[in-house]
Structure formats: structure tokens, C-alpha cells
Chains A and B, each alone.
Chain A
Amino acid sequence: RGMLSDSRVFDAYENRKSKSFIHIHAMKVKVLSRNPDDYVRETKLDIQRVPRNYDPSLHPFEVPREYTRALNATKLERVFAKPFLASLDGHRDGVNCMAKHPKSLSTMLSGSCDGEVVWNLTKRECVRTLQAHEGFVRGMVVRFCGTSFFTVGDDKTIKQWKMETPGYGEEEEPLNTILGKSVFTSIDHHQKEGVFVTCGQQVDIWDEQRSSPIRSFSWGVDSFSCVRFNPVETELLASCASDRSIVLYDMREATPLKKVIMNMRSNTLCWNPMEAYNFTCSNEDYNLYTYDMRYLDRPFTVHMDHVSAVLDVDYSPTGKEFVSASFDKTIRIFPKDSGHSRDVYHTKRMQHVISIKWSSDNKYILSASDEMNIRLWKANAAEKLGLLAPREKAAVNYSQKLKEKFQHHPQICRISRHRHLPKSIYSQTKELRVMKEARRRKERNVRKHSKPGSMPVVTEKEKHVVTVVK
């Protein structure tokens, strides 16, 4: 290597003194002469040398090549979009509710219409079965410490159970049983204290140590279907009532804070874990509504796409997306501020989806449906599971960025948006669209032929709220 030194400038004059020639001149010349040793690996065990030169003129067609890469990445994403992972079967009746374990990712609880089961998700097997209630298990929640859980059922009882499996010979006994006056429909536990809340005919706040509620709220005669604690402002509560209202409470006050009455009944609601002043409710009118707690007079966003009543909703732990379960036998994933879904999951055998949960590691979705099964889905349909090599990770990030960059190009947009839907849902979607268009047209015509100003334009967001009561 020493012979071919880096600067190959030779003084020709010096060089030629020994030779016989006529034309003497001094010139400076350098010719490219690469030493192959600098560019080829030394032994077979080394990795190949790849010298780089990022000069843009050596890399023509930068944009068309990136576009082609983005197109390929989009196509591959659709090819690898296989979200369904496993089906957990074992229940002998429809699964009515589920609960996440706050401390263990692999543990999950499910309550069916006749009993309840604790699942281990990594092994996909049932760990423990217990007969909790007679009739439906209406709601269940794991205590924040993860050592025990509460269930409510149709037999008007609240039961507290230990999370550990009872030892050999021990009886499967609840730690605590509270007999209530009416049927409880839902239960939620406080984030930090030994306080939980149930709803049924009224919203009751219970202390774990006592057998009677420490506070009860009711606002008119109604029954409640769901109650949830706010994950950040832990003293706040929200509940869905059957008189089409969503009621907000402060646990420390004697009366409810305010309520919003909508056109149709909301089934469940879920607080956004990151922006905890927002909550999303799943409604009977096929839509989901995201509200800002402070401004209830109109929803923040209306999420449309389902073609039947939405039964359950759960936020991802990042608070950027949520998943909804519907009576139309599909699951949809919505970005929190988008009006339409990002993805839709369905299988042939899945019936009406009753309960849905987004796992705490933001990777999986669990859906419980009528036909006695719990299904495990990937939250990102095309994501590769398991550990990624650094280069794999870099490639994934790169293609993600490219897809983002070219997402509005018609061809890429078309491919990434394409989803196969069951025929019934497809036709129903079309039908709904026609109906909506007809309604809009009619409204337009009415407005055209009535006195100007007598038919104000009502936006989609304002349409669904009847009134706000304080």
C-alpha cells in the first residue's frame, strides 16, 4: 500500500533525467488510481466495504425512486396486514365484559353470561374459572394494585375476589360480598384509593370497607349503563344513562355536575388516558362522539363508519387512537381526531361484538363477542411481532416515513385505503350513504323554498346534541 501513496503527483522532470528524450518539460499530472485493498474486504470473515458518496448528482431520480419505494411499502403493508392472532374459546355463553390487569400484561379477565374466567394471554389458555354470579356478569374491574378484582352481576351482588388462584383444597370463595337493592350494570374502581363506583338504578360510590354506598347520585328517574372514573382527575366520574344523557359527577360533591342529552342513547364511554378532559362515547345511532368535558354543547369530533349500534369503546394507552366494537360484527380503529376509521377488523365467525379492550402495551386488541369467543388482534395490522433487528427497525421507520410523505398521491392513497368488507356491511354502508345524501338534498330543497334565515344550517356536530343541563 505504501508504494501507491495518496498523492500521486509526480514531477515528470525529475523522473526523466535518466532517460533520453528530446522534449523536456515539467508537468504535473494525477490520474485516478485506486488501490483495490481500500475497497475490498480483507478476509472472507469481514463484512463488505461500502464506500458512500451522497452527492445528489450521483443519485438521479431521487423522487421517482422514493415514490416507487413508498408504493412498494404500501403494497407490502396490505400484503402483510393479517391482524387476527388468536381466538380464546372456552366460555359456554356469550362474553359480556372484560377487564385488563393493571400490573400484568399477560393477564386478562372475562365475564360471560354465566360465570367468568381468568386468561393467560401469552399461553392463550384459561388459567382459572369461577362461578361468580347467577346469571350475567355485568361488569368487572381489577383493583389498581392488581391483587383483587370486583364483579357485579344480575343477582344484585358485588363481589370481591382474590387474584391468586386458591391453593389445593381451598374453596373458591369471594373475599367480600355486598348485597345491593337493584341490578348493577357496570363497575369501575378508583385509581388510587379503596373506592369504587357502580351503576344501575343510580350511581353509587362505595368504600371497600363498608357494605353500604357512601354516596348515591341520581338525576331524574333513569337507569345507567356505564360509569367510568377519570384516569387523571381521579375524583371525576362520567356515566351513560338510558334517558340518552351523559352525566358528569364530582365524587366530592353531593350533586352531579352536568349532563348532556343527545338524540340517541350512549352505550359506553371511555376517557382519553392522555388528554383526560376528553372522552368518547359509543352511541346507538352508529356513531361515536368525542367530547371535551368543558364544552358539552357540541362534540369535538363525530366518528362515523359503523353501520349498526356501537356497543363498546376503549382508548389506546397512548391516547392517540381508540377502538370500537359494534353490533354490526366489526371492530373499527379510529384516530382520536379523525371522523373516519383507520382500519376495520372482521371475521366470518365473529358475531355482535359486545366488549373491547386495547392492551396496555399498545400492541393488541381484545374483542369479546356473542358467540362465546374472545379474539386477540394486532393493533397495527401489518406490524411484525417480536424483536426487530436494528436494521429491520430502521427499514420499518424509513418505509413509514416514505408512506407518510407520499400518502396523498392517488395511487398510494387508493391502495392504503382499500379494505375488504363483508357484503352485508358493504351494502349497508352504501345504503346509509344514499339515505344521508337524500336527507341532505331534502334539507337543501326545503331551505331553498323557505324564507331565508328560517332554516339555519346545522352542522353534523350540532345535530346530535339536544341540550346541556347544569
Chain B
Amino acid sequence: MAASSETMLKKPHVGKKRKPPTRYWERTEEDGKNDGKKQKEGDNNEQTPQQNNTRTKKGGKRGGKRGGAGKKVISGKSDPFPGSAPVPEEKLKKFRRGVKGELPPRPQYKLRDVVIRSEAASDLAQKQNARYDLMLPEDAGFLEGDEDEDTCTISQDDIVDAVDITAGAKYFNLTLSQFGPYRLDYSKTGRHLLLGGRRGHVTCLDWQSKQLMCEMNVMETVNDVKWLHSEALFAVAQKKWLYIYDNKGIELHCIRKFNDVLRMQFLPYHFLLATASATGFLQYLDVSVGKEVVAICTKAGRLDVMAHNPHNAIIHLGHSNGTVTLWTPNQREPLVKMLCHQGGVRSVAVDKTGTYMVTSGMDKKLKVYDIRAYRPLQSYFLPAGASCLSLSQRGLLSAATGDIVQVYRDVWGIPVTKPYMAHRAKGSVWGVHFCPFEDVLGVGHGEGFTSMVVPGAGEPNFDGLDANPYRSAKQRQEWEVKALLEKIQPELIGLDPSQLSQVDHSTWEQRHEDRVQVLGFDPLAKEKFTPRLKTKGRSSSGKVEKRKKQVAHEDQRDVIRQTVEDRMKIDKERKEKEKKKAAAAGQKSALDRFRK
């Protein structure tokens, strides 16, 4: 702009002026304008001065907006970027919370002022968040093949060869053929890995530095393993009971109330460990106080398919009759029952935003549901059927079919025909899990564990106050205290987590009912009329009846009077309205004389 403005300042002493170099920030608008003009006029000679005019005008406008920031200074230069930088609309949308309501009317000026101020504050916050989002340091990973090449044919070795050493080191195999097959879990920060072999081998390690934290054999069948809120504790569902170990492998608790547990899910913001057992019980353990919150008998047989919705902490259970049920600790019946498959359900996964649920069943189908509307979106047929499903933070789906792990991209968008990536593990796959904040998929199988690189799986930018993979011990301690302080009570789990902030538009009847329930009696209930006992024959049954009738009639009269008054009021209002309408209609027409 500097160059262009200088040329503008100089009077064009030659008839034809050189066109100033275009800048990228001017390009789009000007191109559009130029095109339009070309089509209209088709005259090149006319164009140059006009274009010049438009630009000077625009410059003036912009300068006016920000109190002369875009104006020329003495040196003849002007600010090439006048005004505050624009924020893209999509970014703003990402940080929008709720919808703007209408402003209260002017007479309620105090409330109006409060609303205006708070909306201005939230707008500012939204804008600042969006700005900050533009400056996040890391970009997500990706994998693009050649023009006619499928990305699923690219092997792990190719990727490892192509990327840098540290990223390449994330592809590795652990050969543990003795106690497999393995189930696995990554900690919330994605730093630590927990492996549990079916025949009792339990180990946890810092998988990035490959440091072993503990390794042991519990000498019992291990059904599932799960990290608790931090990498200091983990739960192991063993043959009979649920055990809790610390990261040195010391058994801290054996919880005998939780028997025959097959699957576990941990709700990190509620500090709840949800377990599904072979006896059909769904149990919740509050790990911060060590108490069982609730045990729900689902009456649905053996529960070996389980997932949780990270958006609203609702537990999804898959059953052998093809249904998926949704549970909270506050209700003994399922919130929702969905018939998803014709055979049994083999695996369920829910995405991070709580919008999509992916299920796979014995009917060899893979289905995608919108769980806000409980609507099927896509249905795929996998020849071998998927045994384990896992969704990554950025929405990649991994499905294990036999010993092959396939990764799909955008399963809920346009129907997918080919997987994004595929990898053959050494044994049949027992558990898959995406690592948070890394482009890594952990695969537990019969011959051990494979960590495979899946570009574009993990969220590139973590939040340091929520889950920081690089946190120090001190930071972890502080985080733990904060997290415990804001532990959400299990009563607050529901389908819509934002319900708490909405205005409770309960009706008067509803409020009255609540009040009656709290008080134990109805404060507004009318006392039943009991006629006083009068002497000297005035309390004969006939007289008593008469008095009762009198009172009843009086009450009835009140009601009638009220309704009549109401009706008259409505009538009056209607008439006035009509009158106004007639007045508004105004002009008399010649045909009015025929009206009655």
C-alpha cells in the first residue's frame, strides 16, 4: 500500500498511469470489482481512473472507522492494515455459546443495561478466543497419497521412513506372546499406557520415553484395565473382583462390592468409575471417596460392550439382542433404548462432541447414529465385522476386524468406501485405543501390543490446565487438587449438560407441586367446611346439609363471578381491538352502506 499511496499522491503528469502492484489483502474485492466492470463497460481506458477512485474512497472509509488510523501521515505512508484484524466467521462460531436473546423493552432499562453489558462482554470473550485460536502453535497431522494412490496402501514403515525420528519412534511393537491377548488404556494426558493381558500380565509404562513404571502378574484373569484420574492409580477388573493399584504396582484396594466386572469406563470430571459386570450390573464407584454411588441391575444379561459419552458422561451399553441403552446413575431404567443391530452389539464408540455414536454388530454392520436426534446416519457392511471400535479426538474411527486394524475418516459425512489406513497386527485384535493428543493408535492383540502411527488422529494443541502431557509432578498435584474441588456431583449427569444454565420455565402448577412435595401438605388447599355444632336442634342433619349447601353455593358463586368477569374482560378487549382495527382500516368504502 505504501507504494500505491505514493503514486496516488503524485499528480499523474503523464496521461497513462502505471498500475500499482496489487496486494493480497486487496485482491479479492478488487478482482471482483474489476471483473464486473469489464463485463459492463468493456472499456479498458476508462477503467484505470475509476478503479483509482474506488480505492481512495475505500481508504477514506476505513480511516474513518478507526479515527484516522488509515489516514496518510506526513511521510505519505498510510497504514496498510487499518482497523482491527478481522476474525473468520467459522472461528467465531466455534466459540459461540447459546444464542442471543432479544433485549428487554426500554422501560426495564436496568435489566436492559445489564443484558447489553453482559452480551458485550461475551462477544469480546468470543472474539478474543477466536483470535487466540488462530495463533495456536501446532497443526494437525495428515497423510496424502499420490494422485491415484490409496492412503490405505501406505504401510507403517513407509510413514516412519518419511517422518522425523521422534515421530517415527511412535511406531513400535511389544512382543508379549505369553500372557495375551491384551487390553489397553491411555491416561488422560496421553502420556502413559496401561496394558492388561488376559492371563494376568499387567504393566504400565511411559510409552514415549519407553520407561517402565511397573510390571506384574496378578495370577488371575484380567478382563479390563483403566487409568483413574491421573497416572498414579489404575483399576484392574480381575476374575472375581475389582482391584485398584498404584503406579508402583502396589495393590491399594480390593473392592468386593464390584464382582465379575467385564468392562470399565472412567468419567474424569465426575471421578466416577463405571463398571459393567457379567451378572448384568452397572455400578458406579466414586474414586475420590471410595464409595459405591449406585448399582443398577440392567436386567440385560452379560454386559461386555460399554462406552461413555465424553460430552455428557452417559454410559452406553451394548446388548446381545442388538440394543444399545443409555444410562445415568440417577435413574434405574435406561434413558434411551435403541435397536441398532439385528444380531448382538459387538462394540460401541462415542465421539468427543457427543454427537455421533458408532456401533458394530454381529450382523457385520457398522452403523453411525446421531445421538442427539437418535437417528441413523450411515450404515456400512464390513465383510468380517468389527470387533473393537475407537474414535479419536479428531474423529477418526478405528475398527478391528480379525487381525486387521482399519482406520476410517469422516464416517458420518459422505459414505466412505475405502479405509484411510490399514494395518495387520500379529495376532487377533483385542483392544484398540487412540492416544489423546498424539497421532497414535494403540492396538492390543494376541501377540502383544502395537503402537501405530495414524497421522491426523490427535488434537494438536492441548490445554495446559486440563490435560498437559508435559506437566511436572508439582503441576500434577495442583491440577489434582483443583480437579477434586470441582468434581461434578453424579446427580448432575443428564442428557444435556448445559441444562443447569437455562432458565427454569416451570409452570405455576409445577412449582406448586414441588412445594407440596417439600412441605408434605398443600398450603393452598381449601379447608373442607365442617359445620359447627349448634345446640337446640339447629344441628339436625337437614340443617347441617342446608348450611353445607349454602357454603358450597357461595364458593360456586365466586367461581362463576370470576369466570364471568374474565369473559367480559376478554370480550371488551376483543371489541377494543376490533375498533382499533376498524379505525386503522380507516377509509369508508362505498359498499359500507350495505353492511349491517
Chain B residues with CB below 8 A from A38, complex form: 137
Given A34-B138, A61-B497, A25:B166 Cβ within 8 A: no
Is A123 part of the contact surface with B, judged by Cβ < 8 Å? Answer: no
Partner-binding segment picked from A47-55, A137-145, A173-181, A439-447: A47-55
Q: Bits for B525-568, please: 1 = Cβ < 8 Å to A, else 0.
A: 00000000000000000000000000000000000000000000
Is A62 part of the contact surface with B, judged by Cβ < 8 Å? Answer: yes
Query: How many residues does chain A have at the interface if contact means C-beta atoms less than 8 Å apart?
Result: 47
Q: Bits for A53-82, please: 1 = Cβ < 8 Å to B, else 0.
A: 111111111111111110010000000000
Pick from B97, B145, B453, B465: contact of A25, CB under 8 Å? B145
Chain B residues with CB below 8 A from A53, complex form: 133, 136, 459, 461-463
Bound-state Cα–Cα, A10 to B144, Å: 11
Chain A: minimal CB distance from B413 (Å) = 17
Given A28-B142, A53-B136, A60:B154 Cβ within 8 A: no
Q: Would you call the interface of chain B mostly helix, strand, loop, or mixed? A: loop
Chain B: minimal CB distance from A312 (Å) = 30
Query: How many residues does chain B have at the interface if contact means C-beta atoms less than 8 Å apart?
Result: 68
Inter-subunit contact A32/B146 (CB<8 Å): no
Pick from B161, B311, B463, B472: contact of A51, CB under 8 Å? B463
Inter-subunit contact B486/A55 (CB<8 Å): no
Q: Bits for A325-338, please: 1 = Cβ < 8 Å to B, else 0.
A: 00000000000000
Is A15 part of the contact surface with B, judged by Cβ < 8 Å? Answer: yes
Pick from B132, B167, B468, B500: contact of A63, CB under 8 Å? B500
Partner-binding segment picked from B49-57, B273-281, B487-495: B487-495
Chain B residues with CB below 8 A from A55, complex form: 94, 133, 461, 463
Inter-subunit contact B144/A64 (CB<8 Å): no
- Return the chain B residue nearest A7 by Cβ: B139
Given A29-B163, A53-B461, A60-B269, A48:B142 Cβ within 8 A: no
Interface residues of B in 168-195 (CB under 8 A from A): 170
Is B501 part of the contact surface with A, judged by Cβ < 8 Å? Answer: yes
Chain A: minimal CB distance from B263 (Å) = 21
Chain A residues with CB below 8 A from B312, complex form: 60-61
Is A214 part of the contact surface with B, judged by Cβ < 8 Å? Answer: no
Chain A residues with CB below 8 A from B464, complex form: 49-52
Chain A residues with CB below 8 A from B163, complex form: 8, 10, 29-31, 33
Is A169 part of the contact surface with B, judged by Cβ < 8 Å? Answer: no
Inter-subunit contact A31/B144 (CB<8 Å): no
Chain B residues with CB below 8 A from A19, complex form: 161
Chain B: minimal CB distance from A74 (Å) = 13
Bound-state Cα–Cα, A60 to B268, Å: 10
Inter-subunit contact A33/B164 (CB<8 Å): yes
Interface residues of B in 51-66 (CB under 8 A from A): none
Is B313 part of the contact surface with A, judged by Cβ < 8 Å? Answer: yes
Is A390 part of the contact surface with B, judged by Cβ < 8 Å? Answer: no
Which of A36, A58, A72 has the largest number of chain B CB atoms within 10 A?
Answer: A58
Inter-subunit contact A50/B492 (CB<8 Å): no
Chain A residues with CB below 8 A from B158, complex form: 12, 27
Chain A: minimal CB distance from B23 (Å) = 25
Chain A residues with CB below 8 A from B458, complex form: 32
Inter-subunit contact A31/B137 (CB<8 Å): no
Inter-subunit contact B455/A54 (CB<8 Å): no
Chain B residues with CB below 8 A from A69, complex form: 485-486
Chain A: minimal CB distance from B157 (Å) = 10
Inter-subunit contact A32/B497 (CB<8 Å): no
Inter-subunit contact B139/A30 (CB<8 Å): yes
Chain A: minimal CB distance from B532 (Å) = 16
Given A59-B463, A60-B311, A25:B149 Cβ within 8 A: yes
Inter-subunit contact A68/B146 (CB<8 Å): no
- Return the chain A residue nearest B126 by Cβ: A54
Inter-subunit contact B154/A27 (CB<8 Å): yes
Is A16 part of the contact surface with B, judged by Cβ < 8 Å? Answer: yes
Chain A: minimal CB distance from B34 (Å) = 34
Given A12-B162, A64-B492, A52:B465 Cβ within 8 A: yes
Chain B residues with CB below 8 A from A457, complex form: none
- Return the chain B residue nearest A49 by Cβ: B464
Chain B: minimal CB distance from A223 (Å) = 41
- Return the chain A residue nearest B269 by Cβ: A61
Given A48-B475, A51-B462, A67-B492, A57:B352 Cβ within 8 A: yes
Bound-state Cα–Cα, A405 to B459, Å: 32
Is B304 part of the contact surface with A, judged by Cβ < 8 Å? Answer: no
- Return the chain A residue nearest B160 by Cβ: A31
Pick from B463, B465, B486, B492: contact of A72, CB under 8 Å? B486
Is B95 part of the contact surface with A, judged by Cβ < 8 Å? Answer: yes
Bound-state Cα–Cα, A51 to B167, Å: 21
Chain A: minimal CB distance from B138 (Å) = 7
Is B353 part of the contact surface with A, judged by Cβ < 8 Å? Answer: yes
Is A39 part of the contact surface with B, judged by Cβ < 8 Å? Answer: yes
Q: Bits for B451-482, please: 1 = Cβ < 8 Å to A, else 0.
A: 00101001111111110111110110000000
Chain A residues with CB below 8 A from B472, complex form: 40, 48
Given A48-B475, A50-B465, A62-B498, A56:B142 Cβ within 8 A: no
Chain B: minimal CB distance from A392 (Å) = 16
Inter-subunit contact B159/A61 (CB<8 Å): no
Chain B: minimal CB distance from A209 (Å) = 47
Chain A residues with CB below 8 A from B488, complex form: 61, 64-65, 68
Is B339 part of the contact surface with A, judged by Cβ < 8 Å? Answer: no
Chain A residues with CB below 8 A from B154, complex form: 25, 27, 29
Chain B: minimal CB distance from A47 (Å) = 11
Bound-state Cα–Cα, A32 to B501, Å: 37
Pick from A3, A34, A68: contact of B486, CB under 8 Å? A68
Chain A: minimal CB distance from B55 (Å) = 35
Given A4-B164, A50-B468, A30:B146 Cβ within 8 A: no
Is A274 part of the contact surface with B, judged by Cβ < 8 Å? Answer: no
Inter-subunit contact B455/A29 (CB<8 Å): yes
Is A413 part of the contact surface with B, judged by Cβ < 8 Å? Answer: no
Interface residues of A in 403-461 (CB under 8 A from B): 405, 409
- Return the chain B residue nearest A69 by Cβ: B486
Inter-subunit contact A40/B470 (CB<8 Å): yes
Is A86 part of the contact surface with B, judged by Cβ < 8 Å? Answer: no
Inter-subunit contact A32/B132 (CB<8 Å): no
Pick from B143, B166, B500, B501: contact of A29, CB under 8 Å? B143
Bound-state Cα–Cα, A160 to B387, Å: 96
Chain A: minimal CB distance from B570 (Å) = 21
Bound-state Cα–Cα, A232 to B186, Å: 69
Bound-state Cα–Cα, A405 to B162, Å: 53
Is A26 part of the contact surface with B, judged by Cβ < 8 Å? Answer: yes
Which of A10, A30, A52, A59 has the largest number of chain B CB atoms within 10 A?
Answer: A30
Inter-subunit contact A29/B138 (CB<8 Å): no
Chain B residues with CB below 8 A from A34, complex form: 138
Chain A residues with CB below 8 A from B170, complex form: 31
Pick from A31, A36, A59, A72: contact of B466, CB under 8 Å? A59
Chain B residues with CB below 8 A from A59, complex form: 463, 466
Given A33-B163, A65-B269, A39:B455 Cβ within 8 A: no
Inter-subunit contact B463/A54 (CB<8 Å): yes
Inter-subunit contact B500/A31 (CB<8 Å): no
Interface residues of B in 127-157 (CB under 8 A from A): 129, 132-133, 136-146, 149, 151, 154
Is B439 part of the contact surface with A, judged by Cβ < 8 Å? Answer: yes
Is B82 part of the contact surface with A, judged by Cβ < 8 Å? Answer: no
Chain A: minimal CB distance from B374 (Å) = 21
- Return the chain B residue nearest A59 by Cβ: B466
3 nearest A-B residue pairs (beta carbon): A50-B464, A33-B167, A31-B167
Residues of B near any A CB (own CB < 8 A): 94-95, 97, 129, 132-133, 136-146, 149, 151, 154, 158-159, 161-164, 166-167, 170, 269, 310-313, 352-353, 437-439, 453, 455, 458-466, 468-472, 474-475, 485-489, 492, 497-501
Residues of A near any B CB (own CB < 8 A): 3-4, 8, 10, 12, 15-16, 19, 25-34, 36, 38-40, 48-69, 72, 405, 409
- A sample of 12 inter-chain contacts (CB < 8 A) reads A10-B162, A25-B149, A27-B154, A29-B141, A29-B154, A32-B437, A51-B462, A53-B459, A54-B132, A62-B498, A63-B501, A68-B488
